[in-house]
Amino acid sequence: MAHTQQHFRHLVRLGQGAAAGGLLAAAAACAPAAAPRPPALPPAAAERVPPGQTADWRSLLLVPLGSRLTELHVALEEVLFFHGSSGGGVPEDPECYAPHAAPMRFAGRETVEYLLCFDHGGLNRVRASVNLPAASARNLLARYCGDWLAPLNAANDACAGGDGTSAFSARLDPEPVQGARRLSIVIYGAASPTPPDAEFR
Residues 27 and 50 in one domain: no
Residues 48 and 120 in one domain: yes
Residues 55 and 96 in one domain: yes
What is the reported pTM? 0.68
Dump pLDDT digits (tens) for 102-151: 788 998 999 999 999 998 889 999 999 999 999 999 999 999 999 999 99
Residues 93 and 7 in one domain: no
CA distances (Å), 98 to each of 103, 160, 182, in order?
A: 10, 24, 18
For residues 5-28, one letter each, b for 16 or more C-beta atoms within 10 angstroms of the residue's C-beta and e for the rest, the string is eeeeeeeeeeeeeeeeeeeeeeee
Residues 54 and 32 in one domain: no
Sign of CA dihedral 90, 93, 97, 102: negative
Dump pLDDT digits (tens) for 75-104: 888 887 655 544 444 445 558 999 888 788
Contact 186, 201 (CB under 8 A): no
- pLDDT surpassing 80 at residue 49: no
Residues 65 and 91 in one domain: yes
Residues 89 and 116 in one domain: yes
